[in-house]
Chains A and B, each alone.
Chain A
Amino acid sequence: MRGLRKTYRARHGGTATTAVDGLDLEVGRGEIFAVLGPNGAGKTTTVEILEGFRDRDAGEVSVLGEDPARAGRAWRARIGVVQQDSRDLGELTVAEHVGATARYYPAPRDPAEVIDAVGLAEHARKRVRVLSGGQRRRLDVALGIIGQPELLFLDEPTTGFDPQARRSFWELVSGLRDGGTTILLTTHYLDEAAHLADRVAVINRGSVVALGAPEELGGTEARTPRVSWLHDGERRTLRTDQPTAAVTRLRDELDVQGGEIPGLTVTRPTLEDVYLDLIGNDTTSEDPR
């Protein structure tokens, strides 16, 4: 999958809104690439252009060497798509759906193995209507991977999961990557991106505001530890690469009773702090790349 750039305008009530504005992304083969962003940032729009569901207004897109807007059946046999919401597939059983969907592909996985892999073996004969939300999502993934895709799109796959279900879902996705599948994941859960992704792009208002490995996101600047204390009842914060030295200096400067600095905390920004920082900023004000 090679570099792409696109501008897309979606019409809402007559006025043209730019949902994705000059966005550049390049995803390497065999990696899990996460697209992070607040609701309405343009994540789904971007992914749906890549999946071939939407036309773009400008830019170049190449997915598995083809333009998704023109790609045909052979190309669709090489991708797998797990869309954001699904309310369909009520009356058939899990096994019936997976079995039928397998037939659409030239070289599918074994349906029973896939059902087992997503942990639905004991529900295989149940109608989809009676499955829980988490089980449905697992079925969505089963249908997404049944065709042995080279590239799998996961659009907010764990929304509404309980923590345990999310954990086992992550294991499933990691296992797919280890099997050689490239995965493009959108999410608004930071822990999910931190746990799964090899690289993360944060997008906001249709543009990439940060790109990199989860632990490097935002650059070193954004991860500078923060020393914070109370001075005359007011909280003061200092950013420094040497928090120990800063604390020592503070103690000497403040000359506080008993040598304790009131309200002292030393924190390293988590991915969440970095992320909130990134999307809180005006998208044009910085280019962390």
Chain B
Amino acid sequence: MTATETTGSARPAPAAGPARLPSPFALGLVRARVELLGFLRERDAVVFIFAYPLIMMAIFAAVFGGEEQAFDMGPAAVGIDFAQYFLPGMIATGTMLSSFQTVAISIAVERDDGTLKRLRATPLPAVSYFLGKVWQVLLVSVAQTAGLVALAALAFDVPLPDDGRWLTFAWVFVLGTATGTVCGVAFSTVPRSGRSASAVVTSVVLVLQFISGVFFAFPSLPGWMQQIAALFPLKWIAQGMRSVFLPDAFAAVEPAGEWQHPAIAATLGIWLILGLVIGVRTFRWRRRDDG
């Protein structure tokens, strides 16, 4: 077969030699822009994923503001302002929403409506598609978390931690977001259609929120619920965030009596690898009913 292409009028002057395919990383940035624009223009996404933890934070802090979340710590009961106790949980919820929920729903919808199939027909590499998602998740969750911390500090006088704890914050945040993202990719094959994706994913996240001590103080949950929650990442992200924003004395009320940083890293790491393996093995460009 020989190339007998004639030159069309809309054709730019051919570069010397065969044109090179754009790099996957550069295309990841192109995709990031597409993802971000799509996210920001989807009102549902902005309200229920980006603003939701901020709204919850504002409501809870306003309702229970000034009240103390009390813990029975044996001889002496320890109390803490409710807003301060609530902040780590909301940050953990935010990372979960912005990573897991966003990615799982968007991939399920994109698989259903043909976005993925359309992309599959172009020279866009799969890795660039996922890089676009990662950038989008990263930018949204950083903005969201910054918003939460600012809201708590400025509006509800929550004391911010000292320098050393921001390192803990950074690794819990990054590991939690990464784990949520890959688990979102893996979970995106569970909803049977794009229409059901939102309901399926949201209810999973909601259950996790309740059992992982996001709304209620984790130590006050029944033991069996704590044990179930301990199987999933959200509980550990929340616990990691508590270790950042709560005084060290509160480590004593954790079920283990300490912050358990190594266990947080290990659990999130296991979920990260698990999500990665399942995501890579189950990811498909087409709908289930489409061959």
Give the interface of A toward B (CB within 8 A).
1-2, 10, 29-30, 45, 48, 51-54, 64-65, 73-74, 76-77, 79-81, 83, 85-92, 96-97, 100-101, 103-107, 109-110, 113-114, 117, 127, 143, 147-148, 150, 176, 179-181
Contacts and interface: CB of A to CB of B under 8 A. Distances in A.
B291 A10 contact: yes
A101 B83 CA distance: 46
B37 interface: yes
B121 A81 contact: yes
Interface string B6-30: 1111111011001111100011001
Contacts of B10: 109-110, 113-114, 117, 179
Interface residues of B, number: 43
Interface of B: 1, 3-12, 14-15, 18-22, 26-27, 30-31, 33-34, 37-38, 41-42, 110, 113-115, 117-118, 120-125, 285-286, 291
Given A92-B37, A179-B9, A180-B5, A105 B122 contact: yes
24 contacts: A10-B291, A30-B4, A30-B6, A51-B121, A53-B285, A53-B291, A54-B291, A64-B1, A76-B123, A91-B42, A92-B37, A96-B34, A100-B34, A103-B27, A105-B122, A106-B123, A109-B10, A110-B10, A117-B10, A148-B8, A150-B5, A179-B6, A179-B10, A180-B4
A87 to B, nearest CB: 4
B111 to A, nearest CB: 10
A106 B22 contact: yes
A48 to B, nearest CB: 7
* Most chain B Cβ neighbours within 10 Å, of A85, A105, A150: A105
Contact of B12 (A107, A143, A147, A176): A107
B30 A100 contact: yes
A88 B125 CA distance: 19
Given A83-B114, A88-B118, A109 B12 contact: yes
A91 B106 CA distance: 13
A88 B11 contact: no
A109 B11 contact: yes
Contact of A104 (B9, B37, B115, B124): B124
A104 B291 contact: no
Nearest to B33: A100
Contact of A88 (B7, B42, B110): B110
Nearest to B39: A91
Contact of A85 (B11, B22, B114): B114
Given A103-B22, A104-B122, A180-B8, 7 more contacts: A73-B123, A77-B123, A88-B115, A103-B30, A107-B15, A110-B10, A179-B8
